Amino acid sequence: MTADRISVGELQELLAAGRPVTVLDVRSPSDVDWEIPGAIHIDAYADLESGRLGPLAELSLAQGPVVTVCGVGRTAAIATELLRANGFETLTLDGGMRSWSLAWNIAHTTISGCKVIQVRRTGKGCLSYIVESDSEAVVIDASAEPDVYIRLLCERGWRLVAVSDTHIHADHLSRSRRLAQLEGARLVLPAQDRVQYPFRPVADGDRIAFGSTALLAMRTPGHTDESTTYLLDNIAALTGDTLFLNSVGRPDLEGGTHQELVSRARLLYMSVRRLLELPEAAQVLPGHVSTPIPFDGRLVVATVGELRETVALAGLGSEAFVDAILARIPPSPPNHSRIVELNQRGELPEDPSELEAGVRRRSRGSRAVDPGTPRRE
Ligand SMILES: [Fe+2]
């Protein structure tokens, strides 16, 4: 923390510790696509650009420091300077919302004797998992920086034995290969011929063993051809981008003809049906969520029984499902072709947030959309 700046990591720690802090988002409403949990939005952009506090002058601020935030930190720095001149303890979030896309928090649970940590990129909605058995761990869908997982493993004395992705991601750069390299763990990926670096392929029915248990691979194609769900004792399913808590994956990001899209949507239908035939009490742990994840330690999860009720698309017949999916294809995530290309090559740029930052498309006052999800009304 410098005199008037705070880093993403420092703000993340304040929020995780429940310390008093007021996050003041000064972006104009049209630029607000994702937010920091608990942030206050004041549309002061135009005033600040003219060197005035505008509506910020009327603000009664609670106890604790004020952290100003905008897109990349420039306008927020103006707010900080003006608020400090008015006597408020104010800091600018370094790098703004673009840098915040790398912020993360966690939630814990225990399933079938295995400790599970859900690692959430709160500013982007990506969910990943550390699953532990007898002090050996597997990481699924690593999307936070590799150091995050290494720190969490180290703090608990767990040894990483395998890293896997549920599919080739299009919305974020996979950190799985790098994490496996750093920790000397097996890199296990769904069998496919897209990835251009060595990995151990996992097919439908294969197991990823760790500790005294294993994750069972269940091929669930549709979002992508290789999409795979990992089952833990048939009572938890890590569904990647196939099944979310309010919707299902999108089948279009691999491109192709209309007929290929229809075929993939039919596969998706069958995959979703298979997942919803799991035991009613089985827990679904998805790969994405469509809203910022609070620093409340609460797991993002639902049971199969709940999803049978809440995922409206799942109640449709095959052709109605396909029609509904194809009628609701949202715009492709920015940079998705480049992200897929890098994920297939196993490359991780120095600053991944630059490519990933454009993926967030949440608008205030409108329904949120999962990065991998068709828009639902
Ligand atoms: Fe995806």
- Amino acid in position 127: L
Q: How far apart are CA 114 and CA 51, in angstroms?
A: 55
Q: Give the confidence band of 6 by pLDDT, cuts at 50, 70, 90.
A: very high
Q: Which residues contact 41 (CB under 8 A, 6 or more apart)?
A: 25, 27, 29, 32, 35, 364
Ligand 1 centroid to Cα of residue 120, in Å, is 15
Quote the ligand 1 centre to 170 CA distance (angstroms).
5
Q: How far apart are CA 360 and CA 331, in angstroms?
A: 12
- Cα(11) to ligand 1 centroid in Å equals 28
How far away, in angstroms, is 282 Cα from ligand 1 center? 22
Ligand 1 centroid distance, CA of 369 (Å): 13
Reported for 197-200, long-range contacts at CB under 8 A and 24+ positions apart, including other chains, are 197/345, 197/346
**Residue 326 Cα, ligand 1 centroid: separation in angstroms?**
17
Mean pLDDT of the chain: 91
Task: Please give the distance, rounded to the nearest whole angstrom, from the Cα atom of residue 54 to the centre of ligand 1.
Answer: 42
CA–CA separation, 45 and 48 (whole Å): 5
CA of 186 to the centre of ligand 1 (A): 22
**What single DSSP character describes residue 243?**
B
Q: Which residues pair with 164 in a beta bridge?
A: 140, 188
Residues 6+ apart with CB under 8 A from 268: 221, 222, 223, 242, 248, 249, 251, 321, 325
CA 172 to centroid of ligand 1, rounded, Å? 8
Rg (CA), the chain: 21
d(CA 239, CA 242): 6
**Dihedral pair phi/psi, residue 313, rounded to 5°:** -60, -30
How far apart are the CA of 58 and the centre of ligand 1, in A?
Answer: 44
For residues 296 and 118, the answer to whether their CB atoms sit within 8 Å is: no
How close is the Cα of 277 to the center of ligand 1, in Å?
22
Q: What is the pLDDT of residues 258-313, one digit of tens each?
A: 999 999 999 999 999 999 999 999 999 999 999 999 999 999 999 999 999 999 89
Query: What is the residue whose two structure tokens read 């549709």?
Result: 222
Percent of the chain with pLDDT over 70: 94
User: How do residues 148-200 score in pLDDT, each as one tens digit?
Assistant: 999 999 999 999 999 999 999 999 999 999 999 999 999 999 999 999 999 99
Q: What is the dihedral of CA 98, 345, 287, 19, to 10 degrees?
A: -30
Q: Which residues pair with 302 in a beta bridge?
A: 284
pLDDT, tens digit (0-9, with 9 covering 90-100), for 76-133 = 999 999 999 988 999 999 999 999 999 999 999 999 999 999 999 999 999 999 999 9
Q: Rounded to the nearest whole angstrom, what is the distance from the C-alpha of residue 233 to the centroid of ligand 1? A: 24
The DSSP call for residue 347 is -
CA separation for the pair 103, 97 (Å, rounded): 10
CA of 7 to the centre of ligand 1 (A): 29
What token pair was written down for 25?
A: 């988002």
pLDDT tens across 308-343, in order?
Answer: 999 989 889 999 999 999 998 888 877 999 999 999
How far is residue 324's CA from residue 306's CA, in Å, rounded to a whole number? 21
Please give the structure tokens belonging to residue 289: 């969520």
Q: Select from 92, 101, 98, 46 the least CA-distant residue to 69.
A: 92
User: For residue 11, what are the CA distances in angstroms to 84, 95, 102, 152, 221?
Assistant: 18, 12, 12, 19, 39
Q: Residue for token digits 């927020």?
A: 76
Residue 372 CA, ligand 1 centroid: distance in Å: 5
Q: How confident is the model at residue 30 (pLDDT cuts 50, 70, 90)?
A: confident
DSSP structure class, residue 224:
S
Phi (first) and psi of residue 327, to 5 degrees: -80, -10
Distance of alpha carbon 3 from alpha carbon 161, whole angstroms: 42
* Backbone phi and psi for residue 337, each to the nearest 5 degrees, phi listed first: -65, -40
Q: Kindly report, residue by residue over 66-77, the tens digit of the pLDDT.
A: 999 999 999 999
- Give the 3-state secondary structure of residue 346: coil
Amino acid of residue 189: L
